[in-house]
Amino acid sequence: AQTVTQSQPEMSVQEAETVTLSCTYDTSESNYYLFWYKQPPSRQMILVIRQEAYKQQNATENRFSVNFQKAAKSFSLKISDSQLGDTAMYFCAYTGTASKLTFGTGTRLQVTL
Amino acid sequence: KAGVTQTPRYLIKTRGQQVTLSCSPISGHRSVSWYQQTPGQGLQFLFEYFSETQRNKGNFPGRFSGRQFSNSRSEMNVSTLELGDSALYLCASSYFRDRNSPLHFGNGTRLTVT
């Protein structure tokens, strides 16, 4: 079975600074997708960024980028120029052949002034 | 385009009762998935429907069931409610079942069982 591990329950960053959230996963599949979702207090899960395993180039979406290390099964999220609106729970997720998402336990990110 | 709509937003039920939650996907989306979110277990996959057929099921007891209608709207039902069923239930939709179709989530239904 696939597992996703987020080892940082909580993190804090000052506005305009950069923060990196960690995620590791375990799988025996060779073709899969990885995602970072954001869940603000409104409860809606919002897709932040996704990475296809067969693509070596790290995905980037504006201020959000990932460091995908396939051999190490690591998938970290970097948020640059942090904004107050980035305050939320961040979930790392995996999907393989089963077409369902397996989520990590989440990292609560607080952006402060 | 309207997002994924879940109703109701909040529910309070008593142990032993049953409950039905509703999910209207984004227009044109044919795949609907359900997830349970609790502080203890985190986010867990319940089931997925595509073209009115259950395509995938998570590790939940038979008290949890669902269905999808011809207009892609979906309902999930929980019978004989237990205290441990208290959770946020999230619905997500996508165009297709393949992994390249990103999931769009609703705001969830918060179920409290007393």
Q: What digits encode the pLDDT tens for the residues B27-42?
A: 999 999 999 999 989 9
Q: What digits encode the pLDDT tens for the residues B30-84?
A: 999 999 999 989 999 999 999 999 999 999 999 999 999 999 999 999 999 999 9
Q: What digits encode the pLDDT tens for the residues A4-57?
A: 999 999 999 999 999 999 999 999 998 899 999 999 988 889 999 999 999 889
Cβ–Cβ of A101/B43 closer than 8 Å?
yes
| HEC string for B47-80 | EEEECCEEEEECCCCCCEEEEECCCCCEEEEECC
* A102: contact with B, CB 8 A cutoff: yes
Cβ–Cβ of A91/B97 closer than 8 Å?
no
Nearest CA in chain B to A98: B56
Interface of B with A (CB under 8 A): 3, 33, 35, 42-45, 48, 55-56, 58, 88, 90, 92, 97-100, 102-108, 110
What span, in angstroms and rounded, lies between the C-alpha atoms of A34 and B60? 24
Q: Which of A33, A98, A103 sits opposite B43 (nearest CB)?
A: A103
What span, in angstroms and rounded, lies between the C-alpha atoms of B69 and A84? 40
Could you give the percent of chain A with pLDDT greater than 90? 85
What span, in angstroms and rounded, lies between the C-alpha atoms of B39 and A89? 12
Cβ–Cβ of A43/B107 closer than 8 Å?
yes
Nearest CA in chain A to B99: A99
Nearest in space to A34 (alpha carbons), one of A109, A108, A102: A102
Separation of CA A94 from chain center: 10
Q: Which of A43, A99, A106 sits opposite B42 (nearest CB)?
A: A106
